[in-house]
Structure 1
Amino acid sequence: MPDWVSLCVLISLLISLITIAGYILCSGLLSDITILSGSPPVKKITFAYKFKEGPYKDCRQLFKESNRIGPKLSCIGVYYDDPKKVPGPQCRYAVGSILSEGENKVDEELLKSYETSGFNVFSFPEVTHVVTTSFPYRTFFSILLGIRRVYPRLEHYIKERRLCAHPFLEIYREGQILFMAPLARQGDFYVPEVRPAERKRSEQEDLHSDSDVSGADSNSEYSSGSGVLLSDSRETSLAASSIRSVPIQDQGDRNYRGRSSRGTSFKELDCEQTEREEQLHEDSNQKSPEAPTQEWWGAVGGEE
């Protein structure tokens, strides 16, 4: 009798291990990850969102809240800071649901429901160039695997090609997680709440600088840490009265890249030169059809 018990326990253990292994494999453990730069996987989108400051792991609650209102809608998360450089309480993100894409009209009933629940509405434009990839979205564990596997590869791809890509979007739809970071018009992807949050951070930096016993110059430049790659510290994601689409205007020194001056620390300022050069490159393409399409963006359409 004891032998039968031991055998049953062993068989149950093996079945459990096989089930867990199958679950992890199904979640995307061995899925190929191909990083591309080129046309975006989504067109212009209008979405309902809530903006928060805090550790990215706390965004799960907003995903649940948004999904309860529109369970059939695609969910979206927009992440503005690198948690490796920005303290968790200061990380900024917007989470919500996509109300319409392209020229499709917004469902007015759903729009009212979101606004009644305290969500704001904003639109992102369709841009010409993005860095993007996708990952299977079959289970909750797919989210954890996707975050841990995709972002290091995105980081490598962007650094290797010296691209300027921010902020980072995650779109959950049709069994996939779409990861995307615009390479142009980045300022249009910053929701209005980012500006006061940025101002608050700047004031905190000023206060810290004034109280520094080292006597450091309060006008010294600093790296904002905004809009760069997310780390694996965010381990969990999904579970106003009119549509606003006015872009945040760029400010500050147009020739300064990599860092920005105090008080204007939007990461999009760092890449404005990139956007201008892209426009010049596009103009030159129109004049000369034989101009190489990979001159500025590195390997457009390349893969890792």
Structure 2
Amino acid sequence: MLDWVALCAISLLISLLTVAGYVLYSGLLSDVTVLTGSPPIKKITFVYKFKKGPYQNCGQLFKESLSIGPKRACIGVFYDDPKKVPGPQCRCAVGSILNEGENKADEELLKSYETSGFKVFSFPEVTHVVTTSFPHRTFFSVLLGIRRVYPRLEHYIKERRLCAHPFLEIYREGLIQFMVPLARQGDFYVPEVRPAERRLLEREELHSDSEVSGADSNSDCSSGSGVLLSDSRETSLAGSSVRSVVLQDQGNRNYRRRSSRGTSFKELDWDPTGGQRAEREERLRRDSNKKSPQAHEWWGAVGGEE
């Protein structure tokens, strides 16, 4: 009886040590260092399937993509914050990277993906992203990475008031590389993700400024607009669009006046079609009575009086 109890205890201890070793090997104690810098990938062409639903159900898409191209790096692009957006409404694109930089894609492999219903899309190379990495050694590494990395990414972005979205995961060479673009975010939205929103983002690229020194100048959020983590993209974009607008007088290119968004000419009590000129003429007429005849004669010549 004692021998049986001792044997059970030893077996339990071995099992616990095995589980502990497995968890440690999967990355439990790995450092997670979030920083702003160069992206882990260049311009890429990839194949993907779009999915709307809880993110925990995306595993099947990763498996399907790997079954076609087992040597290709996998990529997942996640557009919504599952803490704020209901699971059935969360959107993602999952697939494999066909080529990076100037390398050419394998045409035969591309046909295989397209036959299985995958679509083709490209992401540009940007100069600045929020990025970190996590070991990818076991299946449990994915679960650990998600639980450990995302809270730190969100804290880093919010603390620095960065405009960073969407969230990318790249699986290759024993690592999960996390990347969040700080510029040209509209180019990272696949066509299925609200085409109208994507067009709006692309238009904003012409006028937006980045908070990151040296980052691409066409970031899709104005400075200080915060992180876009929820599905309410229209609200976030509207709030991030408040910026100064230059109003140029076509009659005098050297004259400029700035007006903030939402302030009309009526509120400024300034009529660009002649109100300011009429006010100036009235003021000069009143002053002309106090001036010399020469001054009055000067006003008549300029003002058109006979």
* Class of the TM-score when normalised by the shorter of the 2 chains: 0.5 to 0.7
In the alignment, what sits opposite 1:115?
114
Letter of the 1:93 partner, please give it.
C
Which has the larger Rg? Answer: 2
In the alignment, what sits opposite 1:181?
180
In the alignment, what sits opposite 1:138?
137
Structure-to-structure mapping, 1:23-102, within 5 angstroms: 23-102=22-101
Candidates 260, 265, 276, aligned match of 2:234: 265
Structure-to-structure mapping, 1:201-240, within 5 angstroms: none
In the alignment, what sits opposite 2:202?
249
Q: In 2, Cα distance between the equivalents of 1:271 and 1:110?
A: 41
CA distance change for structure 1 residues 264 and 86 in 2, over 3 Å: closer, same or farther? Answer: closer
CA distance change for structure 1 residues 33 and 72 in 2, over 3 Å: closer, same or farther? Answer: same
In the alignment, what sits opposite 1:22?
21
Aligned length: 226
Structure-to-structure mapping, 1:143-182, within 5 angstroms: 143-182=142-181
In the alignment, what sits opposite 1:226?
none
Q: In 1, Cα distance between the equivalents of 2:32 and 2:227?
A: 30
Task: Let me know the Cα RMSD of the aligned residues.
Answer: 3.0
Q: In 1, Cα distance between the equivalents of 2:168 and 2:146?
A: 12
Q: In 1, Cα distance between the equivalents of 2:227 and 2:202?
A: 18
Residue deviations 1:86-144 (CA, integer Å, cap 9, x gap): 11111110000000111111000110000000000001011000000000000000000
Q: Which runs of 5+ in 1 are unaligned?
A: 200-245, 275-304
CA distance change for structure 1 residues 7 and 109 in 2, over 3 Å: closer, same or farther? Answer: same
Task: Give the Å deviation of 1:267.
Answer: 6.0
In the alignment, what sits opposite 1:210?
none
Task: Give the Å deviation of 1:250.
Answer: 3.1
- 3-state SS of the aligned residue for 2:194? helix
Task: Give the Å deviation of 1:148.
Answer: 0.3
Task: Give the Å deviation of 1:36.
Answer: 1.0
CA distance change for structure 1 residues 165 and 264 in 2, over 3 Å: closer, same or farther? Answer: closer
CA distance change for structure 1 residues 114 and 150 in 2, over 3 Å: closer, same or farther? Answer: same
Task: Give the Å deviation of 1:71.
Answer: 0.7
CA distance change for structure 1 residues 90 and 38 in 2, over 3 Å: closer, same or farther? Answer: same
In the alignment, what sits opposite 2:193?
194
Task: Give the Å deviation of 1:196.
Answer: 5.1
CA distance change for structure 1 residues 71 and 82 in 2, over 3 Å: closer, same or farther? Answer: same
Task: Give the Å deviation of 1:249.
Answer: 2.5
Letter of the 2:71 partner, please give it.
K
CA distance change for structure 1 residues 101 and 15 in 2, over 3 Å: closer, same or farther? Answer: same
In the alignment, what sits opposite 1:9?
8
In the alignment, what sits opposite 2:299?
none
In the alignment, what sits opposite 1:104?
103
Task: Give the Å deviation of 1:190.
Answer: 0.4
TM-score by length of 2: 0.68
Residue deviations 1:258-283 (CA, integer Å, cap 9, x gap): 699x9972967776789xxxxxxxxx
Residue deviations 1:142-190 (CA, integer Å, cap 9, x gap): 0000000000101111111111100000000010000000000000100
Q: Which runs of 5+ in 2 are unaligned?
A: 209-221, 244-306
Q: In 2, Cα distance between the equivalents of 1:104 and 1:27?
A: 32
CA distance change for structure 1 residues 253 and 264 in 2, over 3 Å: closer, same or farther? Answer: farther
Residue deviations 1:57-112 (CA, integer Å, cap 9, x gap): 11111111111101111100000011111111111100000001111110001100
Letter of the 1:249 partner, please give it.
E
TM-score by length of 1: 0.68
Percentage of pairs with the same residue: 72
Q: In 2, Cα distance between the equivalents of 1:107 and 1:119?
A: 15
CA distance change for structure 1 residues 58 and 269 in 2, over 3 Å: closer, same or farther? Answer: farther
Task: Give the Å deviation of 1:195.
Answer: 2.0
